């Protein structure tokens, strides 16, 4: 029985796809615990963290992508599977150390730092994964394959969020056992990953090691020293932005849109955690419901992505996110009015609106995760995918590191008006994607 749909794929992609699926089953358990907004909920509920600490926890998953440019540089001319093993091992080790964290305010700070370190390592895995997909999967089926792989990871993440939330409702101190356990799962995933083969890598590594880079051939290996040099990194990033104006415009639209989406995430955590006591309800509205919609929409988004290309695709996913922001604003206003009247608990109307917001945001994330992992391949020249992905991730990291604090500052300053600012930025980003789509063919350029 072909449970994972292996036989429906191009023949040369089947073996790697099969082992990558097996890898993602235990890997999804680790990632589901340390990525996304799970850490910010733990900070707010288990460690009774301040709004600032919640913002810091919300910022770290995206902010750590700042390191992606370094990882992208290191990927050039080096064995991808070896790097994925190193980064994955680092993420598992950081999760394991949480067992030593005390359940105190100071422990909350330490927990955020531990999650940040784990997410730095995860950003390396994401960078390498994009390169693996470039090598192993043909462009005409890449969206569908990525959707299936992401679906497996997501369903494990959803199960983990439910289980961990239930455990923490029973005893918040169980975090000391949960994180080391998922670290072991991550170690198992890394062992399974060793069965994946990177097609044509030996030839590319041989050429890169000899420094024989051609205009459209493998790039020469970049030294660790250069990869860590801010000047070298800045020059490389600027070179891509200057030479590929269309990609620069794409990144500007993505920056506007991304800031709009991310600014309200810590606000959402503050509003819901203040109105609802149970972890499971917090997790359902903030993390679980969007992931369920991501999972259910991935297959359809994958086929649509392969058909229309990234710019038109972003218009549709961005519209879902903008609508979700409007609904979230209405729900927040209802919660604030309830608090002013002394009602205390979240009203049914507000709860329903937060559910609708979660559905719309999940639909956006379902398509967004494909566009985020594959969108740069629409623009990148052959053998430059690592650099394009690294630039895209680094800029995502910049906005991710700053935006949650801006969102909390706006929340303190103008209250629910932060949702208005978020909506305007989302619309501006969608307009940028629409203009790019209008200028080109509806089919993205294959790599």
Structural domain includes residue 1 = no
Parent domain of 242 = 6-203+219-438
Which pLDDT band, with edges at 50, 70 and 90, does 324 fall under?
very high
- 209 occurs within a structural domain: no
Answer whether residue 219 shows pLDDT above 60. no
In a domain? residue 208: no
Which one of 52-56, 90-94, 130-134, 136-140 scores highest in mean pLDDT? 90-94
pLDDT of residue 447: 41
Asked if 302 and 57 touch (Cβ cutoff 8 Å), the reply is no
140 lies in some domain: yes
- Mean pLDDT calculated for residue range 8-33: 84
The CATH number of whichever domain residue 356 belongs to comes to 1.20.1250.20
Contact 69, 393 (CB under 8 A): yes
Q: pLDDT band at 204, cuts 50/70/90?
A: low
Tokens 């890997």 belong to residue: 27
For residue 242, being part of any structural domain is answered with yes
pLDDT of residue 159 exceeding 60, the answer is yes
**Residue 2, pLDDT above cutoff 80:** no
Query: Total domain count for the chain?
Result: 1
The predicted structure's pLDDT at residue 190: 94
- Pick the residue with more confidence: 38 or 371? 371
Lowest mean pLDDT across 159-163, 384-388, 443-447:
443-447
Of 31, 189, 54, give the one whose Cα is nearest residue 123: 31
Between these two residues, 78 and 94, which has the higher pLDDT value? 94
Q: Using 50, 70 and 90 to split pLDDT, how confident is the model at 214?
A: very low
pLDDT at 383 over 50: yes
Assess if residue 447 is contained within a domain.
no
d(CA 220, CA 258): 33
User: Could you count the other beta carbons within 10 Å of the beta carbon of residue 412?
Assistant: 12
Q: What is the pLDDT of residue 210?
A: 60
Of 149, 140, 434, 135, which is closest to residue 307 (Cα–Cα)? 140
What percent of the chain is modeled with pLDDT above 90?
A: 25
Say which residue the tokens 């460690």 belong to: 47
pLDDT tens by residue, 84-127: 899 999 999 999 999 999 988 888 889 989 988 998 898 888 87
**Whole-model pTM?**
0.69
Domain presence at residue 88: yes
Residue-averaged pLDDT of the chain:
81
Q: Tokens 């097996």 belong to which residue?
A: 22
Q: What is the pLDDT of residue 90?
A: 94
| Distance (Å, whole) CA 360 – CA 261 | 12
Looking at residues 203-217, what average pLDDT do you find?
Answer: 53
Q: What is the rounded distance in angstroms from the CA atom of residue 235 to the CA atom of residue 296?
A: 41
Which has the higher per-residue pLDDT, 204 or 320?
320
**What is the number of residues in the chain?**
447
Within-domain flag for 250: yes
């Amino acid at each position: 029985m072909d449970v994972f749909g292996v036989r429906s794929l191009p023949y040369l992609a089947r073996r790697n796809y099969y082992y990558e699926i097996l890898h993602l089953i235990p890997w999804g358990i680790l990632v589901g615990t340390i990525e996304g907004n799970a850490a910010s909920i733990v900070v707010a509920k288990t460690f009774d963290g301040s709004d600032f600490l919640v913002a810091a926890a919300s910022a770290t998953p995206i902010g750590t992508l700042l390191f992606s440019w370094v990882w992208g540089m290191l990927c050039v001319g080096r064995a991808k599977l070896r790097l994925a093993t190193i980064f994955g091992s680092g993420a598992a080790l950081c999760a394991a150390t949480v067992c030593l964290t005390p359940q105190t305010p100071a422990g909350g700070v330490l927990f955020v730092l531990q999650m940040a370190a784990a997410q730095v390592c995860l950003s390396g895995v994401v960078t390498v994964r994009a390169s693996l997909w470039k090598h192993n999967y043909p462009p005409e089926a890449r969206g569908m394959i990525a959707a299936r792989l992401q679906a497996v990871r997501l369903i494990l993440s959803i199960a983990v969020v439910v289980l961990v939330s239930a455990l923490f409702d029973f005893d918040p101190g169980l975090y000391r056992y949960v994180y080391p356990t998922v670290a072991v799962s991550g170690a198992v995933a890394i062992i399974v990953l060793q069965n994946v083969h990177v097609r044509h890598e030996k030839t590319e590594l041989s050429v890169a090691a000899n420094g024989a880079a051609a205009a459209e051939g493998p790039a020469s290996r970049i030294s660790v020293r250069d990869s860590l040099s801010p000047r070298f990194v800045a020059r490389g990033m600027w070179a891509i932005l200057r030479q590929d104006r269309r990609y620069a415009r794409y990144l500007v639209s993505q920056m506007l849109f991304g800031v709009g989406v991310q600014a309200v995430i810590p606000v959402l955590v503050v509003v819901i955690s203040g109105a609802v006591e149970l972890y499971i309800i917090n997790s359902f509205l903030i993390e679980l419901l969007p992931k369920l919609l991501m999972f259910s929409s991935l297959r359809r988004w994958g086929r649509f992505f392969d058909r229309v290309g990234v710019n038109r695709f972003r218009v549709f996913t961005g519209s879902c996110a903008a609508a979700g922001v409007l609904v979230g604003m209405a729900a927040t206003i209802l919660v604030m009015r309830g608090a002013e009247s002394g009602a205390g608990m979240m009203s049914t109307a507000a709860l329903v609106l937060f559910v609708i917001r979660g559905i719309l945001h999940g639909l956006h994330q379902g398509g967004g995760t494909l566009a985020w992992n594959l969108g740069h391949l629409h623009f990148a020249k052959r053998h430059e995918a690592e650099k394009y992905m690294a630039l895209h991730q680094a800029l995502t990291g910049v906005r991710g590191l700053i935006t949650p604090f801006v969102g909390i500052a706006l929340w303190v300053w103008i209250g629910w008006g932060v949702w208005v600012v978020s909506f305007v930025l989302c619309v501006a980003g969608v307009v940028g994607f629409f203009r790019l789509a209008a200028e080109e063919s509806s089919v993205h350029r294959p790599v």
